[in-house]
Homo-oligomer: A and B are copies of this chain.
Amino acid sequence: MTVRPPGSLVIVGTGPGDPDLMTPATAAAIAGATDLVGYGPYLDRVPARGDQARHASDNRVELDRARLALDLAAKGRHVAVVSGGDPGVFAMAAAVFEAVEEGDPQWRSLDIRVEPGVTAMLAAAAAVGAPLGGDFCAISLSDNLKSWTTIERRLAAAADGDFVIALYNPASRARPHQLGDALDLLHTRKPATTPVLFVRAAGTPGCTVIEATLDTVDPAKADMRTLVIVGASATRRVGRWFYTPRREGARPSASKPKASSGLATT
């Protein structure tokens, strides 16, 4: 009787796009894999290598892709599931664990790990300054997997809590109205002057930014590569940047620095 050598599965994110934003740990995990599984455009970010099998798919079969990866690992392969951004944020890691939960009980004893990465909202925030400087939340506007009622509930809660809000998956051809509806809801609950930033292709050389407010924003200008940041009440512009102060009640002040404050933070 032969004992099958144990396989492994690592779920990684390439970051927002620029190879310089992929961590060395992720690059090493990809290099160590016998099989790469992922959505085609993410796999295309990884240089091809003759001794590595590539299993590319389109972006509408995440659970099938997860099962394929688990099946390969169960057969002794060393599999890297390749997402964009961070694999745990609106990406493949949750899909893999969904597949584990629903699948072959032996999958629960597989060697599975997740490598963190730079998720889109961090690259988008860095591109415009520091808008996530206060408490913030991340909401996917995709209603393929959850109801629009749930999304509305979360948008309302995020407004009521005065969080900075990062909106993932704001628009696609199949979902043209969601972002407009979301911004309309926020407009009823937040100041009309609240900054709204559309950051497209953050973390790539082609990054572009559209600045607006809840009063002036045009949702038609977002596409599936856009990350939308809606400010908290304190989010403001300074020079050509946007940021949210850490200090509550911080007000734009005169140009002289205050006397040394000894302000504490952690």
Point out residues on A near B: beta carbons under 8 Å: 11, 15-16, 18-25, 28, 59-64, 67, 86-90, 93-105, 107-109, 112-119, 122-123, 125-127, 129-140, 142, 144-147, 150, 153-154, 156-158, 160-163, 169, 172, 174, 203, 224, 238-241, 243-248, 250, 252-253, 255-258, 260-266
Contacts and interface: CB of A to CB of B under 8 A. Distances in A.
A18 B25 contact: yes
Nearest to A141: B266
A41 B118 CA distance: 22
The 5 A-B residue pairs with the shortest CB-CB distance in the complex, in nearest-first order = A94-B133, A157-B161, A137-B137, A108-B239, A93-B130
Q: How many copies does the complex hold?
A: 2
B246 A90 contact: yes
Contacts of A265: 59-60, 62, 95, 142, 144-145
B266 A98 contact: no
A263 B118 contact: no
Which of A96, A101, A163, A262: most chain B CB closer than 10 A?
A: A101
Contacts of A103: 255-257
A101 B238 contact: yes
Given A20-B25, A93-B130, A153-B162, A247 B203 contact: no
